Each structure stands twice: as structure tokens, then as C-alpha cells.
Structure 1
């Protein structure tokens, strides 16, 4: 025996309306998911921009440098509005060196947004590394350091790649094994104190004369020192070594 179920017209309208609402919701969710899947990869954009601009930020060096960059990800909770023109840039005060950030901003859109992407830049090249412990105040010798490949960008201080910039100079602080020699770790060595008797060498066009003098300031090789000549005249010259000050005429 069959049982007939009668559906009232108002119920039919409700069922149809509910079906339409469910279909609309499914369609809207599908569009949102598709839009999210089509959102540009801003991290990849930042990495591409950094790769094309990193060479301009590298220090001048006679030794070959090898660059390695890795980019982080944007916060997954960010929902950025569509944009007609997006550009990457380097935020003020930043550089493509070590742990840094690349800015990405919308310059043509209803909503102007600006975000930053984490970036790590490693720059590998030969540098001088401390072979054994060097005490503060000690003069550096060739045997104190060895050349090897390191990450120049591990620290913001410039690497001292030219041996002439550190050989014979004084360690400003204790240097530990494995440290990369960088600017600020050494200073010129003082070779005489104020009151020391020195020889002044004066050079001119086609002649050279020398005379004894007394140092009025400490002498550091390559820097200026004041001296008093035998006749009482006070002048300044460049320290050449522990006994010589050069004056240009």
C-alpha cells in the first residue's frame, strides 16, 4: 500500500530557497578559494627583485664573492587586496646583507598596502681568520691568521681582506680562534711616545734634508705627529717608523 506525501506550496518554496542559498554559498566559497590560490607569490617576487639588485650592494673586492639568498614567507593570516601594480623595494636604512627585509607594496589599487618579506643574504669569499688566540694590545703577525672562505655578511663590519691593513697592527681586543678579522678589531701600532728623540726628514723638489727633533705627541705609523725642531720650530709630519717623521715641503 503506497503512502502519498503531500508537500504544501509554502514548504516547496522554502525547500527551493534553501537549495538556492546552499548553491550560492558553495559557489562563493569556490570563488574565494580560487582567488586565494591565484594570489601572487609576493615572497618569490621579493627574492627575484633582491637577486637582480644584490650586486649593487656588494663591497668592492679583488677576491671573488659568491652570493646565496633565502627568502622567508609572509604571515599566512594576511589577506591582501588585489592590486594592479605591485613593486618590491629596499626599506630605508636597510641593505641586502645578512638578515634583512625586502618591502613589497601596492602602488595601484583600491587599497594601498605595504608589507615586508624576511630575507637572508650570505656572501661567501676568502677572508683572514684568527688561527690562535691573540691578546688585546698584541701586534698581529702573519702566523696569527689564515685565509679561508667565510660568510662576509655574517656581520655588518667590513672584512679586512688586504694583509697590509692589519699586518703589524695592534689588536683592539682579545681575538679568538675562528674569528673573521674585520674593521675595528685592529688599530695602527704606536711606535714612540711624546718626548722621544726622532729624526725629521724633509723632502722637496730634488732634495732631502734631515734633522733631529723631539716628539710632542705619540707616534703611530701612517698618522700625523707633532715635533719640535732643534731651532724651536714646531711642525707636523707623517710617522714612517719608530725613529722617523716625514715632512713634505
Structure 2
């Protein structure tokens, strides 16, 4: 009888541990779900796996979570859990499923990507290479920097955006300030995509630097 009582005591002792684990996982899941909603990122499913031993978990029921210096959206990461003045760091793995972009067919290096070259796949995002492309709009018209195989996930490191300005091209430069715009002409000194910086030699010989607008004009804010 004494052995049965000891066994029951041991089993009942597990319930607070399991409940605590469930509570912490649920709280972290809500934290990451909210973070995804605020970032505009999409995730079909989101699973949090806590890797830190329970003896190192926060001591309060409702810790405040944050991601100091961490911009990752999935995979292994460190989460700060604060209880008043006490802060502990939890090592978690965030498993996420959703859509990502792969090559629909072979793409040769130097080829502009079209809609026919890409398609969406569904799977675990946290197992993909860094900077994997999530939407077709990110790479449509982009130039392949290397040969890409059919079915290969596309990353932003595989492509570059098309040049909006090329070295030697005549460009229009607009300087904007408080209540005024000044427009003049010059010649680009380097290649640049939209939103990149480009140096321009103005017609009077002066060299200025500005940002390339989507239409190819150069913008300078004063």
C-alpha cells in the first residue's frame, strides 16, 4: 500500500510541471503570433519548442517577452523573459510553415526572371536557406546571379534587381528642401538599382550623390 501511495504522489507531482510547460508554450506562441501580425509576415502554422531546461524558466506566471537584437522570424533564437526586475533568457525553436518561392524551371545566369520562371511551394520556412524569397513580387524582373535549378528555393542572394541607372547615362537630378525643388541634369557615374545610391557628375562639373527613384530620376534631400 505504501508503494502505491508513493507512486500516486509521484504521478500527481507531474501535473504542475506539465501545466506550467503548457502555459509557457502557449504564452510564447501568442507572443510570436502577435509579432507576425505586426510585421505583415504570413505563417500558416507556428509551433514553439522551448529548449531551455524548466529549472531556468521565469519564476512568474505572466512574464514579459522580448527579442533583444534579434530580427529572425523563425528557427533557433533567444527570447528574454522578464519578471519585474528579474530577466532570464529562453532558447526556443520557432517552427513555421507557409509559402515560399522556388524556380519553376531552369534559369540561366544573367537571365531576367519572369512569372513563368517561378512558382509557390508550401512547407517549413525555418528549414530554408537565409533570405529565402516569400513572394513572387520580390524577384519578378530580377536578374539571376547564377544558374538556378528547377524546384530550388530562391533567395535574395541569388538575384539582383535590374539597373534603373547605368554608368554614363544622362539623368535628371531633383534636390528637395523645405518648400522648394531644384531640377538639373547630369551623368551617372555608376550602375544602381531603384533605392540605391548613385554618384552623378552635374553639367557644371560638380559631383553629387542621390537615391535612385523607381522612374530612374535621382533624388537629393536637403
Query: TM-score, normalised to structure 2's length?
Result: 0.62
Q: Counterparts of 2:92 and 2:181 in 1: how far apart (Å)?
A: 62
Task: Write out the 4+ residue segments of structure 1 that deviate beyond 6 Å after TM superposition.
Answer: 72-75, 84-96, 100-104, 203-208
Q: Counterparts of 1:157 and 1:103 in 2: how far apart (Å)?
A: 23
Moved more, 233-242 or 142-151: 233-242
**RMSD of Structure 2 on Structure 1 (CA):** 4.6
Residue aligned with 1:32, SS: helix
Q: 1:65 to 1:234 in 2, by over 3 A?
A: same
The count of aligned residue pairs is 204
**1:57 is the counterpart of 2:57:** no
Instruction: Verify the 8 A CA contact 1:226 1:234 in the aligned structure 2.
Output: yes
**1:97 is the counterpart of 2:74:** yes
Instruction: Please list every run of 5 or more consecutive structure 1 residues that lacks an aligned counterpart in the other structure.
Output: 1-25, 108-113
Instruction: Please list every run of 5 or more consecutive structure 2 residues that lacks an aligned counterpart in the other structure.
Output: none
**1:178 is the counterpart of 2:151:** yes
Instruction: Verify the 8 A CA contact 2:28 2:48 in the aligned structure 1.
Output: no
Q: Counterparts of 1:139 and 1:246 in 2: how far apart (Å)?
A: 24
Q: 1:153 to 1:233 in 2, by over 3 A?
A: same
Shift of 1:145: 0.8
Shift of 1:183: 4.1
Q: Counterparts of 1:117 and 1:237 in 2: how far apart (Å)?
A: 43
Counterpart position of 2:11: 37
203, 210, 213: which is aligned to 1:237?
A: 210
Q: What per-residue deviation string (whole Å, max 9, x for no partner) do you get for residues 164-218 of structure 1?
A: 4322223344433323434444333345554x1423243777988553x333223
**1:145 is the counterpart of 2:99:** no
Larger Rg over CA atoms: 1
Alignment of 1:62-77 (within 5 A): 65-69=43-47
Q: What per-residue deviation string (whole Å, max 9, x for no partner) do you get for residues 215-234 of structure 1?
A: 32233333221111222121
Q: Counterparts of 1:102 and 1:32 in 2: how far apart (Å)?
A: 38
